[in-house]
Amino acid sequence: MNAIIISIGNELTSGQTIDSNSAYLSEQLGSLGIETLSHVTVGDDRAATARAIIAAAGEAQLVLVTGGLGPTADDLTRHALADAMGGVELVQDAASLAELEDFFRRRGRSMVDANRIQAMFPAGSRPIANACGTAAGIAARVGGATVYVMPGVPSEMRRMFAERIAPELPSGRVAIVRRTLCTFGAGESDVGARIDDLMARGANPLVGTTVDAGLISIRVASRAATPDEAARQADATIAEIARRLGDLVVGQGEHAMSAAVGMELRRRGQSLATAESCTGGLIGGMITDVAGASDYYLGGVVSYANSVKRDLLAVGQDILAANGAVSEPVARAMAEGCRRRFGADWAVSATGIAGPSGGSNDMEKPVGLVYIGLCGPGCEEVHRHVLPGDRSGIRTRAALTALNHLRLGLRMRLRTRC
């Protein structure tokens, strides 16, 4: 089975509200084995809504519509649905009207006339009760498709879908299981080249990549007759990708980078401290995104001013004067000073130019230049990067790059004191 999702509302087409309903419904449908072909958003416009419903019903077997069921003049979805059903009339549903009146009575309010429209439904359709609001949903047939209309308020929509609509849907003959593997340290094209054969169009599992601040997510969607079989296929593909990409693979799930660093530290019973300049605290922030980080993370110094690099991290004034704050020797001294100050097994440092200004004209020190220092048992490294993006992108990438060097350092080094 396949589906098209339609969202209605001027607040969506004007960009004042981001549509989260369609993504929610797509995910829910996917778990039922129903593939979403497309999302369509139109404004509070009767003709445009009717056209969108008719077009969707011609293309998909299931059409889910959200929004435009309110009591005010710009709520036109029930009229548009009636148009799409071939121009049927709206007729009052006595049970829905009683429920509406009851809804207001329970809240000690009297129902205004405007709400009566919420008990009117296209002839031949079926009302769907709303457990937490006045906007009942509607089930109907348009052409060969089943159409469900739900309120646009996310909480009402989600409850109606879960309790009233999902149970009516045929559980697809196909189960879909999704996995996402997170990689860092190579370009999207490098990653793509190594798994090119797995990314063929129409393949099963279907493999795709997306990139955000240097983190490349490899998404795997597996289809099979049963959830178990789909999961088995997905895991086999994930394992094959992981085998090919080796150390580029950070892990799965949210906060994959911080979780990977934490797992390696916990496994070794080692501790970590951070020394941050251009990242201003983002590295510490990422590390502590993961619950239980206090098992290995001692803390850090944000040494934004040079005086702090000197006083708290013992970076020599001569090193600062000779090389500038954004330099290999300073990154090294920050990491070393931090490790010593905190008595940590590992320390990682970042110093760079986040921009938009502060870069040198000769491109020797451009905006985006970042040095990452790493210091740990048997390990002393400094890495130079010129990172792309705006201030925010450079800072996020710098923090992720620091954590990635730490992750690789942890994986490669033996447990010996340096």
Say how many residues touch its own copies, by CB under 8 A. 126
Alpha carbons 40 and 47: distance in angstroms, whole number: 14
Q: How far is the CB of 410 from its own copies (least distance, A)?
A: 18
Q: How far is the CB of 50 from its own copies (least distance, A)?
A: 13
144 versus 343: smaller Cβ distance to its own copies:
343
- Answer for which of 87, 321, 357, 364 binds its own copies (CB under 8 A) is 357
- Answer for which of 307, 322, 378, 411 binds its own copies (CB under 8 A) is 307
* DSSP codes joined into one string, 219-281: EEEEEESSHHHHHHHHHHHHHHHHHHHGGGEEEESTTHHHHHHHHHHHHHT--EEEEESTTTT
| CA neighbor of 364 nearest in space, from 310, 328, 330 | 328
Q: How far is the CB of 414 from its own copies (least distance, A)?
A: 25
| CA neighbor of 397 nearest in space, from 255, 254, 184, 189 | 184
Amino acid at 160: M
CA atoms lying within 13 Å on the CB side of residue 318: 0
- Answer for which of 162, 236, 239, 305 binds its own copies (CB under 8 A) is 305
190 touching its own copies, by CB under 8 A: yes
Binding mask 313-352 for its own copies (x = CB under 8 A): ----------------------------xxx---------
110 versus 416: smaller Cβ distance to its own copies:
110
For its own copies, the binding residues in 192-221 under the rule CB under 8 A are 192-193, 196, 199-202, 206-212, 217, 219, 221
For its own copies, the binding residues in 25-84 under the rule CB under 8 A are 25-30, 36-46, 48, 52, 70-74, 76
239 versus 291: smaller Cβ distance to its own copies:
291
Alpha carbons 256 and 215: distance in angstroms, whole number: 10
391 touching its own copies, by CB under 8 A: yes
Neighbours of 173 (CB within 10 A): 8
For its own copies, the binding residues in 231-270 under the rule CB under 8 A are none
134 versus 327: smaller Cβ distance to its own copies:
134
279 touching its own copies, by CB under 8 A: yes
Q: List Cβ neighbours of 326 (8 Å cut-off, separation of 6 or more).
A: 277, 278, 351, 352, 353, 365, 369, 370, 371
112 touching its own copies, by CB under 8 A: yes
Q: List Cβ neighbours of 278 (8 Å cut-off, separation of 6 or more).
A: 326, 350, 351, 352, 353, 354, 370, 394, 395, 398
Q: How far is the CB of 345 from its own copies (least distance, A)?
A: 13
